Amino acid sequence: MRGGGHQPGQPGHRGRGRSLQGPWPTLVTFFWRGPQDAVPAWNRAVGNRSIGVRTRTGERWASTTRILRSLRGRSLLGVTSVLLLLLLDAGTAPTNPVRRIGFIGFYSPGLQSPIIAYFRDGLSELGHVEGTTVSVLYRWADGKLANYPTIAEELVREKVDVIVTPCGPIVAAIRARDATLPLVIRSLDIETCEGEIETLERPGGYTTGTIYFSPAATGRRLELLNELVPRLSHLGILYRRTSDWSAHLADVEAAVKRLGVRAYRVAWMQPSELPLAFGTARGLGIDALLTLGDGVTFFHRQRIFDLAAESKLPVLYDFPMFPAGEELGLISYAVDVRTFFRHVAAQVDQILRGTKPGHIPVARPQRFRLIINRDAARSLGLSSPLLARPDPMVEDRQEVSTTDGEVAR
């Protein structure tokens, strides 16, 4: 024995080439040494958990010994036939293939590390272990819509079981390549993804997802701004011209009007236009800004934080202020991201377990997180009972469910 290696039959011995597994050792032993040695060989084979075959029931295999012993004195043809049947039966034991999940992000892993962690936690809570029972193929657009077609092509080619994706152009890119691939659309927007779902309770087709935009949350944001900013009378809505979220502008303006406040649209397109947008807001005598933030807005949030601080304008953000932005952002009221991605993971789990996406109701936001930067508030000269509240504060708000059969609009 060289180098202290393991001898054949001992733990750790790899042997040369592929070792015999399953019922094959029994077949060889039977013809080489006789049925008296084949019986224990078979019993070892079916009882060994390392061969990758699940034992069915104790009763099923209890007759193995009797079968093998009854073969003594039989013809070679008969013996071979019985053993081959046993071999085929063992080979049909169920297996658990690793399921493949596509996950598309508009930004980069660094910017979206919190949502990755929340999604993984959600899968883990449901019994899925990344790298063992599921494989997640992450693809990132790095803030560029032009990267979406390539990402869609890659994931369709990889034959994933389900894709977690944002709403918007990427959905169209995927559907152009595979019309029936199951999708879980996070931040599903019932205006821009209208063709993908029939109703919120029963989406139909091959798509489900979780809604991010909440009309009820818009009303709550306006209440918070009215409480934080004294004598609020002129409110600017900061939005990107070509954003999918601009479809909700009329709803936001209607909510502002109900509050007795005048609304102004403050638009931008490229990041270079943001300073002009803040200058326009100042020129209009706007008291505060409310963001209508899509993915691109969130991608450039640090620039918006900087301009808000320089302009001394209170801004309420409808997206989370992750730690990188808490030093400059004033206040955010947004969907609780941890709970949000638990919903996403639960929908993926249902699809992997065989439920059709069209039978999984669209999830609606129920938990929101309020974060106030007290230092920023003091620098703006703001004083309000809001500043005495715990930070962060979580609010549970039940969204009104859409009844089955109602068109998702």
Q: Are 138 and 79 in contact (CB under 8 A)?
A: no
With beta carbons less than 8 A apart as the criterion, state whether 213 and 237 touch.
no
Q: What is the DSSP letter of 22?
A: T
Where do we find the tokens 């100042």? 282
Q: Which residue intervals of the chain bear CATH 3.40.50.2300?
A: 215-334+369-396
* Structure-block tokens of residue 284: 């209009």
What does the alpha-carbon distance between residue 352 and residue 163 come to, in Å, rounded to a whole number?
Answer: 11
More confident residue, 394 or 295: 295
Q: How many CA atoms lie within 13 A of 153 on its CB side?
A: 5
Q: Model's pTM, two decimal places?
A: 0.71
**What average pLDDT does the structure give for the chain?**
78
Separation between Cα atoms, residue 121 and residue 337, nearest integer Å: 12
DSSP class of residue 130 equals: B
> Quick one: pLDDT at residue 16?
39
Tens digits of per-residue pLDDT, 144-165?
A: 889 999 999 999 999 999 999 9
Q: Choose which CATH entry (3.40.50.2300, 3.30.497.10, 3.40.50.970, 3.40.50.300) describes domain 215-334+369-396.
A: 3.40.50.2300
Q: Tell me how long the chain is.
A: 409
Measured distance CA(181)–CA(155) in Å, rounded = 10
Does a cis peptide bond (omega within 30 degrees of 0) precede residue 314? no
Mean pLDDT over 333-350 rounds to: 94
